[in-house]
Structure 1
Amino acid sequence: MSRFPARRFIDGLPSRAARAWLGLALRTTRWTVTGAPAAVPILRQESARHGAIVAFWHHSLLQLAALWHWVRDRHSHLHLHVVVSRNRDGRLLADAIAPWGIVGIAGSSARKGKEKGGSRAFRQALTVLKDGCMLAITPDGPRGPARVVQPGVVALSRLAHRPVVPVGAACHALRLPSWDRLAIPLPFGRGEIVLAPPLDPPASTEDLAAALNAAQAEAERRHATSGWSAPERLWALLGTLLAPALIVMLRIRLARGRELEDRLRERLGLTRVRRPRGALLWVHAASVGECRSALPLIDALLELRPGLSVLMTTATVTGAGIAAAHFAASPPERAARLRHQFIPYDVPRWSRRFLNRWRPDAALFVESEIWPGLIAACDRRGIPVAIVNGRLSDRSARRWARLKRLATRLYGRLSFVAARGAEDAARFRTLGVRECTEYGDLKQAAPPPPVPQDAMAELRAAIGARPVLLAASTHPGEEEMIAEAARLLRETRPDLLCIIAPRHPVRAGEIAAGLGHPPRRSQGRLPGRSDSLYLADTLGELGLLYRLATVAWLGNAHRPPGGGHNPYEPVRLGVPLATGPHIDNFRPAFARLAGHVAVTHDAGALADWAGPLLGDAARRREIADGALNAIGAQEEVPAPLLTRIALMLPA
C-alpha cells in the first residue's frame, strides 16, 4: 500500500475506529452471495475434506468480513485465518477484523532480498490448513503488483492438498489512491460476493488469476445492475398501478373457465402449500407445449439429484392439467418431490410474496416465457435464472431490440440460455445474453403422452371404420377453414368425421355456435354415425386423438402472425401431418421435417392433400415413416444441460 495518502488514512484511524466503521458499513450493506454452488459446502466445512484457501484480490480485503459473516451465520464454530502484512498497516487491519472471528497471520514475500516473514507465515498457514481451518489470502498482496498472482498460494494449495475458492467482491465503496485501489466500504449500500468454482489445486498462477478476474468481473457486473434501472422502475410502477385491474381480469378469466376458483390466490403470490425442505428448483412452463418440453427435463434432474425438489409453475389451466397428470403418473417417491403453482402476475408485491414463500435456489424459464419483474427480483436475491429450450422468433427479437436498454439489462441478468438452435441462439446473443449454448429441442426428448385405454376403446367404438381428419390445437379463424375443408372432402368421402380440438377449450361455446352445434366431448357426448363434426373441447387428450386420426392438420398456422405448434408429437404417433404457412415459432422443427409435412394455405389445398390419403393406407405409412426417420429416435435430455443446471444448485 502506498505511503500517501493510504498511509495517512490508516494512521488517522486507530483500530477501534476502523472496526466501528467497518461494522457499520458491512452490517448496513445488503449483501448477496452468489456463484458456484460447489464452493458453498467447502466454505461451510460440509465437504469431505476440511480446510480450504479463500483467495481474493487485495483491493477487496476489507470486504472479507462480509463473506465470513455469511459463512458463520450457520456455522459459528468455524475459524478463519488471514495472511496480512506484518507492518503497521497489516497489524491495524488484523485488529480491525478480529471481532468477526478472523485471526491474522503476519508475513509477506521477501522484497529486494529482505525477509518479510513470508517463510514463517507460509509454515503457519500450512499448519492452519492441515488442522482443517479456513485460510484467506490475497495472492497479489500486500504490495502488488495489483492482480498479479504470486506463486505462494498455488504452492500452498498443492502442499496442503486443499482447494482454492476464488472470490470476487464489489460494494458501494470509497477507493483509495493506493497501488491496489483499496475499497473502503460505505454504509447503507448494496454488495455482491461471487464465489468461483473451487480449484483443487490451481493448475498455475495464470489459471488462478483468470478465475479471480472472472469472479471479480461478475461481482462488479452484478453490483452495477443490482439497483433499479429507469425502465425497471417504470415496469414495477406499471404493475403496481395495474394490480386492481389484474384482479378484475382474474375474475373475468374465472368466469370464462380460464382460472380455477380455489387457486386464484396463487396469482397474487399467496398459497397454503408448504415449501419442501432442501434444495428447490423452480421451473416455469407457460402452457401445454412448454410443459411437454419441461417434464422430461424435470424427471432427469430428479433422477440425477435425489435430494432435489421441483416447484413447477404454469400460466394456464391447460398447462396445470398436463403437470397434474404427469405428477399423478409419477412414482410416489418422485411425486412427493414435486409441487405445482400458478405463476403470480408480475406485480412487485405479489412477486415478493412468491419468492419469500418458496425461496428457490435456482429458476428455469422454458422456451419464450419472460417475466421482467420476476427475473430482476430473482437476480437481486442472488437466485440464478436461466432459459432452457430457448425460443426467440425474429419478430420477438425485433420488438426487444426497440427496447434495447431494458432488453440488455434483462437478458444480461440470465446465468445462461440453452437455445433450441443456431438461429435462436444468435438472436439471444444480440440481446445481451452472456452465455448461450445450443442443446437442441427438448421436445425431442418428450415421449407421446399416455392414453387411458377405456377412453380409447370408447371413442374407437363410436367412430368405427370412418376416416378421421383431426384439426389439432386450432386458434380463432381456423375452425371455419377446417369445416370447409371437411365439407369438400365429404363430396368423395361422405363417411368422413372431422374432429376439431381447439388449443383453448374455453372457446368451445363460440366455436360450436359457428359450426352448427356439433357434439362436444366436454359434455360427455360421443360422435354419432350421422355427425360429420365432433368438438374435442377437453384438456390433455391430444395423444388420444392423434392415435385415432387418419390424417391431421396442426393449428396456429393459418393466419398471421400464427407461430405454429410442436409437430414432434403427431409425427412420433405415425400420423401424416399438414399445417399452415405461419410456423415461425417452430421453424427449426419444420425445417427438419421439410418434405414430410404438407403446408396448406386454404381449405381447398387441405382437401386436395388429405383426400388421396384417406383411402391409401400404404401412402400414409410411407409419409409417416419418412417423417419419423427425419426427426430420428426419441432423444435423451442432453447430459451437458443437466450438468450446467446442476451447477446452479447447492451441492
Structure 2
Amino acid sequence: MSSFPARTALLAYRAAGVALYPLVGPYLTYRAMKGKEERSRRLERFGFASLARPRGPLVWVHAASVGETLAILPLIRELRRREIHVLLTTGTVTSAALVRSRLGDEVIHQYVPLDLKFPIKRFIAYWKPDACITAESEIWPTTILELTRRHIPQIRVNARISDRSFDRWRNRASLAEALFGKMSLVVAQSDLDAERFRELGAWPVIVSGNLKSDTDPPPCDEQVLQTYRKQVGNRPTWAAISTFEGEEKTAAAVHGALKPKMGQLTILVPRHPDRADAIEAMLKEAGLNVARRSRNDELTSETDVFLGDSIGEMGLYLRLTEIAFVGRSLSGEGGQNPLEPALLGCAILSGPHVQNFRDAYQHLVRKGAARIVKDADMLERAVHYLLANDMARMKMVDAGHDAMEEMRGALSKTVKALEPYINPLTVSARLQPKSAAI
C-alpha cells in the first residue's frame, strides 16, 4: 500500500467526520437516554470545556474506560507529585465516576472529545497541552494528526495491541505508518507488543511491563465490608467478575450444580452494571434468590447470588471471597484484568480467550496462581475443587502474591522513559507562581 492511498484514506475519514457532524447531537442524546452519556456534560464531547485551564504546564492523559483508568492512576499521581497539571479524559460514565471517587480534585476531568475536526481543534486550542499521554490501545486519526500539526508530543504508555487489531493494521501498512509513525514514544507492555508497534511504524519503542501490576489493591469501605462479612458468616463464596453476556448464565448454572453440595454464595459482578435488571430477571427465572448491592439488600442464608451492580466497588466484592472467575473469557473475547484478584488474595479462574492479557495470564498460570477452564463444566469442577480444598486454594492465593511481586516495576520504567518529556515540565511547574486559572 503506497502513501497516496494512506493520505486518501485519512482525507476520506476526516471528510466523513465533517459530513456526519450534524448527526452527532441526536446520537449523543440517544446515548444519554440509555445512560451512556452524562446529559449535562454532552458539550464536552464537542470539545467545549466545562472547567478552566490552570496556569502552568499541563499534560493531557487519556484513558478510554475503567481498566485503562485504573492502570494509569500511579502515573497520574507521579505527574501531580511533580506539580504538573493533569487533564484526564475518559470515554464512559463508569470511568468518570471512578475518576471522581479515586482522584477527586487531583485532576481536571473531561469527557474525551469526538474524533472529529471541529471538536478536536476546539479542545486542543483551549487546553493547550504540553504533551499527550494515551493509555493502552486506542488510535484516533484526527486527534493524532491535529496533535502532530501543533507539535505536541504523543506518548503511548502501557501500550498493547490485540491480535485482531495488529492483523487489521498490518493489512493497511502505509496507513499504519502514517499514524503510528507520528508517536513520539511508545512504552509497551510486552516484547510482543513492542515488536508489533515497531512493525507498524512506531519509534522509539521500549518495554516496561504492565502498569496494572504496580497499582494498589482497589479500596473499599471497611464498614460496609464488615457488615457483609457478618451477613455471609461461614458460607463458602466464589465470585464471577467482569462478566459479559452469556457468562452470567454460566455462573448461575455453576451455582445451581454446586449448591446442594456446598451451600455457597455466588458473587456476580457484571462488567456493565446497566445490565443488572436483565441479569436479575434471568437469575430469578432460574429459581435463584438475588440480593443487589445497589439496593443495599441484606445477604441472608437464603441468598443465592449477590449481584454486584455498583461502580467502583470491585475491592469490596473481591474481599468477600478467595475464588474469582474473571470474565470476557468464556463467551466473550479478550479477557479482563486478572491482576486485581491476584492482589486481593484470590485463586483465579478464567476461560481460554485472554488475548488482551496474554502476558499476565501466562505468568500467573506458570506460577500456579491461575487456571484456565475451557467450558462451563470445567469451571464447575474447578470452583467445586477450590471450595472444597483449602490447601489447594491457599496455594494459588500465595502464588498470586508471589507473581505480583515479580511483575512489579513497570511504573518506574515508564517514568524513566518519560523523563525527557516531563522533566522540563516539572522545572517549569515549580517556577510558576501559584495563581488562578488563565
For the criterion TM > 0.5, the same-fold answer is: yes
- 3-state DSSP class of the match of 1:515? helix
Q: Within 2, Cα distance between the matches of 1:523 and 1:254?
A: 23
CA shift digits 1:20-61 (9 cap, x unpaired): xxxxxxxxxxxxxxxxxxxxxxxxxxxxxxxxxxxxxxxxxx
**Structure 1 letter corresponding to 2:102:** H
Cα offset for 1:520? 2.1
Aligned to 1:553: 325
Structure with the greater alpha carbon radius of gyration: 1
Cα offset for 1:461? 2.3
Are 2:322 and 2:346, in contact at CA under 8 Å, matched by a contact in 1? yes
Tell me if 1:457 matches 2:226.
yes
Aligned to 1:270: 48
Q: Quick one: which of 420, 437, 458 aligns to 2:206?
A: 437
CA shift digits 1:64-91 (9 cap, x unpaired): xxxxxxxxxxxxxxxxxxxxxxxxxxxx
Aligned to 1:362: 131
Q: Quick one: which of 189, 193, 200 aligns to 1:420?
A: 189
Are 1:467 and 1:550, in contact at CA under 8 Å, matched by a contact in 2? no
Seen in structure 2, the aligned counterparts of structure 1 residues 261 and 461 have a Cα distance that, compared at 3 Å, is farther
- 3-state DSSP class of the match of 1:582? coil
Q: Quick one: which of 389, 395, 398 aligns to 1:616?
A: 389
Are 1:296 and 1:637, in contact at CA under 8 Å, matched by a contact in 2? no
Q: Within 2, Cα distance between the matches of 1:243 and 1:498?
A: 46
Q: Within 2, Cα distance between the matches of 1:374 and 1:514?
A: 42
CA shift digits 1:479-500 (9 cap, x unpaired): 111111111111311x211111
Q: Quick one: which of 522, 540, 557 aligns to 2:294?
A: 522
- 3-state DSSP class of the match of 2:186? strand
Q: Structure 1: any 5+ residue segments left out of the alignment? A: 1-224, 329-334
Q: Quick one: which of 352, 364, 384 aligns to 1:581?
A: 352
Q: Within 2, Cα distance between the matches of 1:515 and 1:244?
A: 42
Aligned to 1:291: 69
Cα offset for 1:289? 1.0
Seen in structure 2, the aligned counterparts of structure 1 residues 439 and 464 have a Cα distance that, compared at 3 Å, is same
How does 1:114-263 map onto structure 2 within 5 Å? 229-263=7-41
Cα offset for 1:637? 4.9
CA shift digits 1:220-269 (9 cap, x unpaired): xxxxx9xx932221111122222333322322222222222221111111
Q: Quick one: which of 114, 122, 126 aligns to 1:353?
A: 122
**Structure 2 letter corresponding to 1:388:** V
Q: Quick one: which of 299, 304, 310 aligns to 2:86?
A: 310
Cα offset for 1:577? 0.9
**Structure 2 letter corresponding to 1:496:** Q
Q: Within 2, Cα distance between the matches of 1:384 and 1:241?
A: 29
CA shift digits 1:344-364 (9 cap, x unpaired): 111111111111111100001
**Structure 2 letter corresponding to 1:532:** D
Seen in structure 2, the aligned counterparts of structure 1 residues 270 and 520 have a Cα distance that, compared at 3 Å, is same
Q: Within 1, Cα distance between the matches of 2:52 and 2:348?
A: 44
Q: Within 2, Cα distance between the matches of 1:326 and 1:377?
A: 31
Q: Quick one: which of 98, 101, 104 aligns to 1:325?
A: 101
Aligned to 2:274: 506
Aligned to 1:482: 251
- 3-state DSSP class of the match of 2:260? coil
Tell me if 1:630 matches 2:403.
yes
Q: Within 2, Cα distance between the matches of 1:640 and 1:598?
A: 29
Q: Within 2, Cα distance between the matches of 1:293 and 1:316?
A: 16
Cα offset for 1:616? 2.8
Aligned to 1:471: 240
**Structure 2 letter corresponding to 1:320:** A
Are 2:244 and 2:331, in contact at CA under 8 Å, matched by a contact in 1? no
Q: Within 1, Cα distance between the matches of 2:238 and 2:86?
A: 39
- 3-state DSSP class of the match of 1:565? coil
- 3-state DSSP class of the match of 2:193? helix
> What is the percent sequence identity of the aligned residues?
36
Q: Within 2, Cα distance between the matches of 1:238 and 1:433?
A: 26
Aligned to 1:179: none
CA shift digits 1:603-628 (9 cap, x unpaired): 22111111122133332211111222
**What is the root-mean-square deviation in Å for CA atoms of aligned residues?**
1.8
Cα offset for 1:642? 1.7
Are 2:258 and 2:380, in contact at CA under 8 Å, matched by a contact in 1? yes
**Structure 2 letter corresponding to 1:369:** E
Seen in structure 2, the aligned counterparts of structure 1 residues 579 and 544 have a Cα distance that, compared at 3 Å, is same
Are 2:74 and 2:411, in contact at CA under 8 Å, matched by a contact in 1? no
Higher-helix-fraction structure: 2
Q: Within 2, Cα distance between the matches of 1:592 and 1:425?
A: 18
Cα offset for 1:443? 0.8
- Counting matched residue pairs gives 414
Q: Within 2, Cα distance between the matches of 1:546 and 1:508?
A: 18
Q: Within 2, Cα distance between the matches of 1:399 and 1:453?
A: 46
Cα offset for 1:633? 5.4
Tell me if 1:497 matches 2:265.
yes
Are 2:346 and 2:400, in contact at CA under 8 Å, matched by a contact in 1? no
How does 1:7-156 map onto structure 2 within 5 Å? none
Seen in structure 2, the aligned counterparts of structure 1 residues 523 and 254 have a Cα distance that, compared at 3 Å, is farther
CA shift digits 1:138-190 (9 cap, x unpaired): xxxxxxxxxxxxxxxxxxxxxxxxxxxxxxxxxxxxxxxxxxxxxxxxxxxxx
Q: Within 2, Cα distance between the matches of 1:473 and 1:347?
A: 31
Aligned to 1:397: 166
Q: Please, what TM-score do these two structures have when normalized by structure 2?
A: 0.90
Q: Within 2, Cα distance between the matches of 1:246 and 1:460?
A: 47
Cα offset for 1:559? 2.4
**Structure 1 letter corresponding to 2:335:** G
Q: Within 2, Cα distance between the matches of 1:550 and 1:612?
A: 13
- 3-state DSSP class of the match of 1:414? coil
Cα offset for 1:640? 4.5
Q: Structure 2: any 5+ residue segments left out of the alignment? A: 426-438
Q: Please, what TM-score do these two structures have when normalized by structure 1?
A: 0.61
How does 1:378-389 map onto structure 2 within 5 Å? 378-389=147-158
